[in-house]
Amino acid sequence: MLKMKKKKEVEGNRHSGYNFIHRLNSLKMASRKGSRIASLTCKYQLRRGKKLDVEEPIGDVKSIKEESSGCITVKQEPMEQCDVETAHESHSKKRKPVKVKLEEEDITTSPKVAKTERKMLEVNCDWFPANWEKTLDNIRKMRKEVEAPVDSMGCDMCHDKTTSPKIQRYQILVSLMLSSQTKDQVTFAAMGRLREHGLTPENMVKIDDNVLQNLLKPVGFYKRKTEYIKRTSQILLDKYEGDIPDSLEKLCELPGVGPKMAHICMNSSWNIVSGIGVDTHVHRISQRLGWIPPDKLADKKSRSPGKEVRKEKQPYQLLTPEDVRVALESWLPKNLWSEVNHLLVGFGQTICKPTGPLCKSCLNFAICPSAKLKW
Ligand code: SF4
């Protein structure tokens, strides 16, 4: 009876098998080596006393593997054939909410680890874009094939790795400040000139404005960025002993530093994932892929009546980078937040370009809702 009930529930939710695998992969983060989750109320009794409770119909388990790192991987057959949807099919479907429960009283790890583990399990499962895991996998494959400028000249590649961690963090922040409205190649070259001059907060406070401007040229808005770098360097010396602050809020208070830079900086400098950095590529591609929950689009549309927007782009064009960040973070599991920026930036530089995206050679052609649009 129970089996039949499950089967019924499965129908109409054909991707949930894949989503379940993904959620289990998210849970891998929760079972780190040395830490032990004593009990998660549940259905599958795994080794070392780990149990998972997934209130969702699931398919046949193929294998359960515990890796040496302590991660658990559960492979299962999808419940039904997962047909690839065409671009004209609806690309946003309601998913059955899934709850993964962690019983706090059973956690035997330290409070700090337990807190991190609980955070990793926080996934809003109300809505997922169709085929998003397949799409992401395809992007990973395409990114491996072609090297993008961000791979060798991105903001986390411009600093001097032989200098002190404090100066490295400062240089990452400066490269992020230069990168807005500027190509990676131009930022990288300017960072090389700055490093030759001596890129430390002390030197930047002392440097003449004209000299700094000449070092930055042809970075976009180099005059304004000259001012930002000098003011930021002075604040860092006055308030943070020449280091950069280690919180998103304090980073955003610095002149010329916005949320996108702050999120990337937290990740690259402090190894803390505070949110998804949404630059022009992430902003464009996540909308092309239909990765914005419909309620967020509808909301945006109703708040902007009378705006003239090309029909096929409505209401994407109305979304700000912050809208996109909030939308992505509402469904994308947190363990992918740090990866997604780098993936999409390189993908946008090589294939899903702003104008003339190479849709015909894109592995997502069959499943991308924007593949057949005329750009
Ligand atoms: S099919 Fe075209 S629009 Fe869609 S992801 Fe690929 S390149 Fe971008």
Return the best residue to mutate from 370, 372, 374, 375 for the ligand 1 pocket (most ligand atoms within 8 A of CB): 370
Is 174 found in the same domain as 99? no
User: Of residues 128 and 314, which shows the higher confidence score?
Assistant: 128
CATH number of the domain at 344, please: 1.10.1670
Same domain, 180 and 123: no
Q: Which atom of ligand 1 is nearest to the CA of 362?
A: 6
**Global confidence as pTM:** 0.66
User: Rounded mean pLDDT of 106-130?
Assistant: 48
Residues 159-169, mean pLDDT to the nearest whole number? 96
Structural domain contains residue 144: no
Q: Which residues are catalytic?
A: 260
* Domain assignment present for 295: yes
- For ligand 1, say whether the CB of 288 is within 6 Å of any of its atoms: yes
Cα distances (Å, whole numbers) of residue 104 to 108, 111, 120, 121: 9, 10, 14, 12
Do residues 31 and 72 touch, judged by C-beta distance below 8 A? yes
Amino acid identity for residue 158 in this structure: C
Query: Highest-confidence range of 9-13, 15-19, 43-47, 319-323, by mean pLDDT?
Result: 319-323
Whether pLDDT at 272 is above 80: yes
- Per-residue pLDDT tens digits for 38-52: 333 233 333 333 334
At residue 51, the 3 state secondary structure works out as strand
Q: Are residues 215 and 292 in the same domain?
A: no
Percent of the chain with pLDDT over 70: 61
Rg (CA), the chain: 23
Residue 231 has pLDDT above 70, yes or no: yes
Domains identified in the chain, total number = 3
In a domain, 61, yes or no: yes
Give the CATH number for residue 212. 1.10.340.30
pLDDT of residue 295: 80
Single out the residue in 218, 236, 270 at which a domain terminates. Answer: 270
Residue type, 87: A
Identify whether residues 113 and 170 lie together within a single domain: no
| Highest mean pLDDT, choosing among 82-86, 95-99, 263-267, 310-314 | 263-267
Give the pLDDT confidence score for residue 362 in this predicted structure: 97
- Cβ-count burial 113-122 (b if 16+ within 10 Å, e if not): bbeebeebbe
**How far is ligand 1, taken at its centre, from the CA of residue 358, in Å?**
7
Q: How many CB atoms lie within 10 A of CB 334?
A: 17
Does residue 346 lie within any of the structural domains? yes
Domain hosting 76: range is: 2-130
Q: Is the pLDDT score of 75 beyond 50?
A: no
Is 88 among the domain residues? yes
pLDDT at 229 over 80: yes
Q: Which of 259, 12, 273, 320 is nearest to 119 (CA)?
A: 273
> 334 and 122 in contact (C-beta within 8 Å)?
yes
pLDDT (average), residues 197-206: 97
Regarding whether 18 and 125 lie in a shared domain, the answer is yes
CA distances from 44 to 19, 32, 40, 61, 121 (A): 17, 18, 9, 10, 17
Q: Are 264 and 282 in a shared domain? A: no
Q: Residue 322 in contact with residue 262, Cβ under 8 Å?
A: no
The tokens 């040496």 sit on which residue? 68
For 290-310, what is the mean pLDDT? 63
User: Does residue 109 sit in the same domain as residue 18?
Assistant: yes
* CA–CA dist 223, 101 (Å, integer): 52
Whether residue 296 is found in the same domain as residue 254: no
Q: What is the pLDDT of residue 300?
A: 59
Say whether pLDDT at 88 is over 50. Answer: no
Report pLDDT for 318. 74
Of 249, 270, 291, the one marking the end of a domain is 270
Task: Check if 19 has its Cβ closer than 6 Å to any atom of ligand 1.
Answer: no
Distance of alpha carbon 368 from alpha carbon 373, whole angstroms: 10
State the distance from the centre of ligand 1 to the C-alpha of 59, rounded, in angstroms: 31
Residue 261 has pLDDT above 50, yes or no: yes
Q: Which of 270, 292, 315 is the last residue of a domain?
A: 270
Residues 83 and 160 in one domain: no
Residue 368 belongs to some domain of the structure? no
Cα–Cα distance, 291 to 332 (Å, whole number): 9
Q: Are residues 264 and 294 in the same domain?
A: no
In a domain, 137, yes or no: no
The answer to whether residues 260 and 281 belong to one domain is: no
Same domain, yes or no: 88 and 168: no
The reply to whether 80 falls in a domain is yes
Which residue among 286, 343, 365, 372 has the greatest number of ligand 1 atoms within 8 angstroms of its CB, and so is best to mutate? 365
